[in-house]
Structure 1
C-alpha cells in the first residue's frame, strides 16, 4: 500500500492508496520538523494516524510538508514515520512546495505558486523544482497571501482609505480597536495567522469595487515581484495552490491576464492531485 501526506503546521491530509486503486482519506495534526522532535511527531502519529491505518500493510510513503527543506530536518519526519509504520520499505520526505508543484503541474513544466496564509513560488520541470524565490516572510514579503491581504485590509480601515460603508461593516463585525490591533501585530505570536483571519471579510464583500481593487492589486504585486522575473514566465503556465487562490480565483485570474501571463489551474489543496501524480509515476 502507498501512503501520501500533505502537511502544514496546522493539519496533515493523508491518503492511503490500495493496490486496486481504492483511496482512503484521513487527517491528523500538522507536522513541522523545525518545531517538533522525533518523539513528539511519533507520539502524535501513534495516537492519531495508526488507528486509522493497516500499519503493517503500508510499504511506501511520500510525505510533503512545511519545514521539510532538506536532509538536515527531513530525517526527523522519516524517523517518526518509520517508528509508526515499521514495515514501510521507502519513506520519502519533500517540501510542501514540491508537493504543490507535482499536484498542480503533474508531469509537465510550469510555474507553481502557493497562496495561503503565506506565499511561495517556484519553477518546476515536471519532476523537480528548478528555480525558487527568496521568501522574506510575513513582515517583509508574502505579497498576495492571506496574511498580506488581511494586513492590507486592516491598515486601510485604520487609515480610512476604504469607503466609509466598508469601514462600518468591518467594525460591526470585528469591533477592533488600535490597542488590540498593535498587541496582536507586535506582541503576540503568529501575526500572519491573525491577519489572515480577516480574509473572510474580503471574500464576503468581493463584489465591492474597493475590495476587488485591494485584492487584485495584491495579486498584481505578487506577480510583479516573484513571477514575472522568472524567464520561464513568458512561456510556462502559472498554477496556484491554496485557500486564497481558491476563494479569490476571479480577481486572481484578472491579475494574471493583466500581467500577460498564462493562467494555469487553481487548487484549494494538493492532496488528491498528489494521489493522481503518484499513481501515474513509476
Structure 2
C-alpha cells in the first residue's frame, strides 16, 4: 500500500492507496518537527489512525511536511512514522517540494505556501533551485495566517481600526488581552493560535480596512520573497494553502497590478501529489 501525506502546522492530509487503486483519506492535526518531538507525533498518529488503517500493509510512504527543511527535522518525523509503519520505506520531504510538485508539475515556476505559515521557492521543473529563507512566525511568515493574526491583534488593541469594526470584533475577544497573551506566550503552538485568528479576518473580508490589511501582508510576502527570484517577472507564480485560497481575489489583483503571471491557486496539494506518485509507480 502507498501512503502520501501533506502536513502543515495546523492540518495534515493522508491518502492511503491500495494495490486495487482504492483510496482511504484521513485528515489529522498538523505535524511540525520544529514544535513537535517524536513522542508527540507518534502518540498523535496512533490516536488518529486507531482502527482506521492496517499499518503493516503500508510499504511506501511519501511525506511532505512543514518544518522538514533539514535532515535533523526530517528524521524526527521519520523516526515517529517508522514505529507506526514498521515495514515501509520512507521519503520525507519539505512541504515546499510538495507545493512545487502539485502546482508546477514538470514546468518551471515559483511555488508559494500561504497557510498557517508562509514559504516560497523557485522550481526548475524537476527540483527546487532557490528558496528565500523563511524566518518563521516570530520574524517572518509574511502573508500567512499567523502574520494576519498578529496584524489583527495589534490593530484591535492599539485602537487603530475603524470604530464600527472595533465594535464588531469585541465579540471575538471576550477574555480580552489576558486570554490572548496566554494563548500566545503560554501555548505549545502559538503559531497555530495566531493563524486561527485569520478566520476572523476572513469573516470580515468585505470591510475595506481588513482588505487593506490583507493586501499589506501579501505585498510584504511578494516584496520579500517572490520578487527575489531570478525570472520572477516571466514565470507563473503558484499558491497553495488556505489563506491563498480564501483571499485568491486579492492575490490576483496584486499580481495583475505588478504585471506578474498568476498560476494555480489550490487549497491543498494532496490530490495532485497522490496522482503524481501513482503515476511514478506505474512507470
Shorter-chain TM-score category?
0.7 to 0.9
Q: TM-score when scaled to structure 2?
A: 0.88
Contact 2:110 2:238 in 1 (8 A): yes
Deviates more, 1:158-167 or 1:229-238: 158-167
User: 1:135 deviation in Å?
Assistant: 1.5
Which residue does the alignment assign to 1:51?
A: 51
Give the RMSD, CA atoms, in angstroms.
2.4
Instruction: Please list, as runs of the form range in 1=range in 2, the aligned pairs for 1:113-124 lying within 5 A after superposition.
Output: 113-124=112-123
Find the counterpart in structure 2 of residue 155 from structure 1.
154
Match of 1:243 in 2: 242
Q: How far does the alpha carbon of each residue in 1:166-191 deviate from its partner, in whole angstroms, 9 at most, with x for none?
A: 11111133246445555555555544
1:57-96 equivalence runs, <5 A: 57-88=57-88, 90-96=89-95
Change (3 A) 1:278 1:251: same
In 1, the alpha carbon distance for the partners of 2:247 and 2:113 equals 13
Structure 2 CA distance for partners of 1:255 and 1:48, relative to 1, 3 Å: same
Q: State the alpha-carbon separation in 2 of the partners of residues 183 and 33 from structure 1.
A: 23
Taking a change above 3 Å as real, the CA distance of residues 136 and 56 of structure 1, as seen in their structure-2 partners, is closer
C-alpha deviations, 1:79-111, integer Å up to 9, x for none? 4333333332x3111111111221222222211
Partner of residue 214, structure 1: 213
State the partner residue of 2:128. Answer: 129
Closer, same or farther in 2 for the Cα pair 1:193/1:110, shift >3 Å?
A: same
Q: Judging changes above 3 Å, is the alpha-carbon distance between structure 1 residues 159 and 86 closer, same or farther for their aligned structure 2 residues? A: closer
SS at match of 2:51: helix
Give how far 1:221 is off. 1.6
Distance in 1 between residues matched to 2:156 and 2:44, nearest whole Å: 41
Q: Is 1:112 matched up with 2:111?
A: yes
Distance 1:277 1:244 in 2: 24
TM value normalised by structure 1: 0.88
- After superposition, the C-alpha distances for 1:235-261 in whole angstroms (9 at most, x for unaligned) are 211111111111111112111212221
CA distance in 2, matches of 1:44, 1:192: 18
> What is the alpha-carbon distance in structure 2 between the residues aligned to residue 21 and residue 144 of structure 1?
37
Post-superposition offset of 1:34: 4.2
Shift in alpha-carbon separation, 1:50–1:160, aligned structure 2, 3 A: closer
CA distance in 2, matches of 1:119, 1:215: 14
The equivalences for 1:118-267 within 5 A come to 118-175=117-174, 177-182=176-181, 184-186=183-185, 188-267=187-266
SS of the equivalent of 1:15 reads strand
SS at match of 2:228: coil
1:47 Cα deviation from its structure 2 partner: 4.6
Distance in structure 2 (CA, Å) of the matches to 1:219 and 1:45? 33
- Structure 2 residues without counterparts, runs of 5 or longer: none
Displacement of 1:17 in angstroms is: 1.6
* Cα distance, 1:156–1:32 mapped onto 2, change above 3 Å: closer
- Give the match's secondary structure for 1:120: strand
CA distance in 1 between counterparts of 2:87 and 2:243 reads 38
Relative to structure 1, the CA distance from residue 158 to residue 60 in structure 2 (aligned partners, 3 Å threshold; closer, same or farther) is same
**Greater mean alpha carbon deviation, residues 167-176 or residues 230-239:** 167-176
